Each structure stands twice: as structure tokens, then as C-alpha cells.
Amino acid sequence: MILIVDSGSTKCDWIAVDENGNQLLEKIRTKGLNPAILSEKKLRKTIKKSKELKNNKDKVTNIYFYGAGCGTENPKLALKVVLQQFFTNANVEVNEDTLAAVFATINTPDEAAVVCILGTGSNCSYYDGKKLEQRVSSLGYTLMDDASGNYFGKQLIRDYYFNHMPEEIKIAFADKYNLQADFIKYNLYKQPNPNAYLASFAEFMILNKDSGYVNELIKSGFRLFAKNMILQFKEELKTVPVHFAGSIAYFCQDEIKEVAKELNFKVGNFERRPIEGLVKFHTNK
């Protein structure tokens, strides 16, 4: 049994296949396994909560894991150790989530492209058809992650408290969420996964895109992301498309295309969840 895994900070999808790519179990979903944010103890606890994973752990021979927080060596190694200790018969390979986005969005195995992730977090890389290049090291959700779910959640809360929201949007926002200061601070500073908590507010943005305020909020976030991340590949952008993976990108395609037109880069494919593309890639491989 081979497990192909795609994890963000919020959720993690596991698909079990045989060596011919035939799916053996229903797709398994757990909470996200971001080793840059979660302790090894928390990572283990999250995996052990899945009855399906526990029941099948001894059958697993290979794991191909792609995840947020796996772009630097120490978190990547910590997660690999946790997986090897749980799946004792498996060879484990851990890669950053950007590589999953590449394999899920490119049209051919050797296609060159700039590939972006816009989900709970955000990232951007250049794939030359063989290897991945990142020119900016991610410092995580506190300092980076422009145009991600947690970025937009933070902007919405700030605008609510600074009274920058139109009154009708402010009323609707307060009606949907608990916006008491103590409750927000408890979730940000006392609970695990504050980035996922912030990203939970992004649904409101998606549902209210027809508002001029929300529309401009979205485009401002994408302009910032493009300036800091996409445009670092100015030379490559002359000849390659920019593909996007993640739910924020998927639901904001129109706004992304508007910003791309402003900044003169070519938009390629959008993939909400990379997991299906990963199965196809590994089956072919």
C-alpha cells in the first residue's frame, strides 16, 4: 500500500493506492500536519486520531508526503521521524507543498512554470522542468504569507477593529463570527494553529466578493503577493505561465487574472486540491 499525502496547515488528505494507482481506501482526511508550527507530540496525536490510518499502518510500504512547513530541513526531518515511527514498514519521503502544487498544475512533466500556492498559507517557486527554485525563504505566517487565507483573515479582523469596513459589511461580519477581543486573542495566542484560525475568516471574503470593499481587499492582497513573490521571476515570466494551487486562488480566479493583467504576467492553471494530480504523477512515475 502506498500513501500519497497532501497537507496544508488546516487539513491533510491521504490517498492509499496500489502500485498501479488503484485506490484502495476512501480518501482519509486529518487535521493539517505543519511541522514548522506543530510539535512532534502534536503531529503524532493528529495521526493517531485517524482510525483508518491506525488500522492500515502496517500495510503501508511507501509514503510520499507533501506539506506546508516542509521547506526547511529541521521541520521536514521532524515530520519524517514521526511518520517513520508510526508507519514502521514504510519508506518515507517528505517534500514541501510547493512541489505538490507543481506536479498537480503543470501540463507536461517537463513543463517550466512559476507555481504559486494560495491556501491557508502562501508560497511561490519556479520549476524549470526538472528542479524547483525558491529565491525567498519563507518565514511563516507571522511575517510572510501574503494573499493567503490567514493574511486575509488578519486584514478582515484589523479592518473591523479599526472601523475601515463599510457598515453593512461590518454588521454581516459580526453576525457570522465571535469577534470579542478576548475570544480572538485566546485563539491567536493560547491555541495551536493560529494561522488556520485566521484563515477560517477568509470564507466570509469569498462569500462577499460582490462588495467593492471586499473586491479591493482581495486585489490588494494579490498585488502584494505578486510584487513580493511572483515578480522575483521577471525574466522567467517572459516565457512561462503562472499556475496556482489552493482554495484561495481557486475561488479568486477573476481577481487574480485582473491583477495579472495589470502586472503583465500570464496566468495558467488553477487547482483547488493537488492530491488527485499527485496520484497521477506517482502512478506514472
CATH code of 86's domain: 3.30.420.40
In the structure grid, which three cell numbers stand for residue 56, read together? 492500515
- Is position 145 within any domain? no
Structural domain includes residue 166? no
Spell out the residues 6+ positions from residue 101 whose beta carbon is closer than 8 angstroms to its own. Answer: 115, 116, 117, 243, 245, 246, 271, 274
| Residue 91 forms part of a structural domain | yes
Whole-angstrom Cα distance, residue 161 to residue 15?
42
> Would you say residue 198 lies in a domain?
no
Comparison of pLDDT for 67 and 277, the residue scoring more: 67
Q: What is the mean pLDDT of residues 17-28?
A: 90
Q: Flag whether 21 is in a domain.
A: yes
Report the chain's mean pLDDT, rounded to a whole number.
Answer: 93
Pairwise CA distance, residues 216 & 261, whole Å: 15
Within-domain flag for 30: yes
d(CA 269, CA 39): 34
Q: How many domains does the chain have?
A: 1
Condensed to tens digits (0 to 9), the pLDDT of residues 198-255 reads 999 999 999 999 999 999 999 999 999 999 999 999 999 999 999 999 999 999 999 9
Mean pLDDT of 35-49: 94
What is the pTM assigned to this prediction?
Answer: 0.81
**pLDDT of 204:** 97
DSSP letters, 81-128, are HHHHHHSTT-EEEEEEHHHHHHHHH-SSTT--EEEEEESSSEEEEEE-
Residue 285, pLDDT > 80, answer: no
* Domain carrying residue 64: 2-100+275-284
Asked if the structure places residue 61 within a domain, the reply is: yes
pLDDT reading at 284 higher than 80: no
The verdict on residue 226 lying in a domain is no
